[in-house]
Structure 1
Amino acid sequence: MKVVVIGATGTIGQAIIQALSTRHQIVQVGRSKGEYQVDMTSKDSVQKLFETIAPFDAVISAAGQARFKPLEALTDEDFQFSLGHKLMGQVNLVRVGLGYVNDNGSFTLTSGVLAGEPMPGSAAISLVNAGVEGFARAAALEAPRSIRVNVVSPPWVSETLEAMGKSGSDGLPAAQVAAAYVESVESQRTGEILDARSFGS
């Protein structure tokens, strides 16, 4: 399959590519690096990307930023940033991508465990993560041509925690997180939220 990985240069993106590259053709897309670039907040940018690289069989989004701050410190701009990047950015990958993906193709989006397991400071992130999951469940019901839509929900990633100077043992290694994305692409699942903690070894 020809698999488009958006967020290819990130920690999870690199692990996904490593997991899939021996069996599939990978197109690496980043915000400023990679084979191709895309601004997920711009529907026009998404359209131009897909026009350039189509046709393809699967799109994986391992991208999308959101702000982490105490509730009283979150500004309107923080919420708009989070909604524009992680929620609508990924929603538009599906909305636009449906016109370019092959029959029986798939979209795999990224939320995170803070959707259902919030913590202080996660109001904006929990909001957009839950929005991504709700969108995917509904979109899977309407996607044409047997196209599948799933979401992977990763916990904190060990490598990210270590980069922040924290203990990696409190997270899940990126290679294990990547196993959930592989399952979404290679299985026949649709409309599901795949908890990355349930995959890999």
Structure 2
Amino acid sequence: MKILIIGGNGTIGKTLTKHFKAEHEVIVAGRKNADIKVDIADSASIETMFKNLGKVDAIICAAGAAKWANFNDLIEEDYYIGFKSKLMGQVNLVRIGQNYLKSGGSITLTTGILADDPVIKTASAAMVNGAIHSFVKAVVLEIENGVRVNVVSAGMVKDAYEKYRDYFPGHNPVPMKKVVNGYVRSVLGKDNGQIIRIYE
């Protein structure tokens, strides 16, 4: 398979890239240090990436930013960071990317535990994650050409534990192998419209 991984150099993305490269052709996309450049907050950049890349069998997005801050410190523009990047960036990957998928191809988006179990300073990030979950369940009712769309929602991964542990007291870090298996299930399985939760 020819698999496009957006954010393939990030905490989760680099592990996904290593895993899928063992048996598939992988193209890493990102804003820097990537095989092909893309800024998912810019729909024109997404369109250009796909035009340069051509048809693929699967699209995985492990990218997207959102503002973390105390609710009373968040201003309207702070919410737009997550809306433009993580939410609309992934929506536009589905909207545009469906036209560059081979028949029966798949798109896998990424959220996280905040959609179901938010912690402090995540009013914006949790909102975005929840919206993506609703989008995935709705879009599969209409998307054509046999395209499957799922989202992987993981808890705090072990590889990011030191950076985020103070935000997640009492949470059990999720082994990266389990997280990778969520993406494998989405790409190689038959799931469609699923929120693949990996929280323990």
Deviations 1:45-103 (A, max 9, x none): 00000111111010000001111111111111110111001000000000001111110
2:113 is the alignment partner of 1:113:
yes
Task: Output the CA distance in 2 between the equivalents of 1:197 and 1:123.
Answer: 19
Aligned to 1:27: 27
Amino acid at match of 1:7: G
Q: CA deviation at 1:196?
A: 2.1
Secondary structure of residue in 2 paired with 1:79: helix
Aligned residues: 197
Q: Note if 1:102 corresponds to 2:102.
A: yes
Aligned residue runs from structure 1 range 23-172, under 5 A: 23-163=23-163, 170-172=172-174
Asked if 2 retains the 8 angstrom alpha-carbon contact of 1:19 and 1:179, the reply is no
Question: 1:114·1:122 contact (CA, 8 Å) conserved in 2?
Answer: yes
Aligned counterpart, 1:180: 182
CA contact (8 A) 1:179 1:196 kept: no
- What is the TM-score with the length of structure 1 in the denominator? 0.93
Q: How many Å separate the matches in 2 of 1:31 and 1:193?
A: 27
- Residue 164 of structure 1: CA displacement? 5.5
How far apart, in 2, do the equivalents of 1:7 and 1:196 lie?
19
Q: Deviations over 1:91-126 (max 9, x none)?
A: 000000111111000100011111011122111011
Please report how far the alpha carbon of residue 33 of structure 1 lies from its aligned counterpart in structure 2 after TM superposition: 1.7
Q: Deviations over 1:105-151 (max 9, x none)?
A: 01000111110111221110110000111111111111111100000
Question: Equivalent residue of 1:109, what SS?
Answer: strand
Q: Distance in 1 between matches of 2:165 and 2:76?
A: 30
Determine if contact 1:140/1:190 at 8 Å carries over to the other structure. yes
Unaligned runs of 5+ in 2: none
How far the C-alpha of 1:197 sits from its partner, in A, is: 3.4
Question: 2: CA distance between counterparts of 1:46 and 1:55?
Answer: 14
C-alpha deviation, 1:18, in angstroms: 1.9
C-alpha RMSD of the superposition:
1.6
Question: Partner of 2:8: helix, strand, or coil?
Answer: coil
Residue 152 of structure 1 aligns to a residue whose secondary structure is strand
Are 1:192 and 2:185 an aligned pair? no
* TM-score, with length taken from structure 2: 0.93
2: distance between equivalents of 1:12 and 1:56? 21
- What amino acid is aligned across from residue 144 of structure 1 in structure 2? E
Q: Distance in 2 between matches of 1:2 and 1:186?
A: 12
User: What is the rounded CA distance, in whole Å, between the counterparts of 2:41 and 2:158 in structure 1?
Assistant: 28
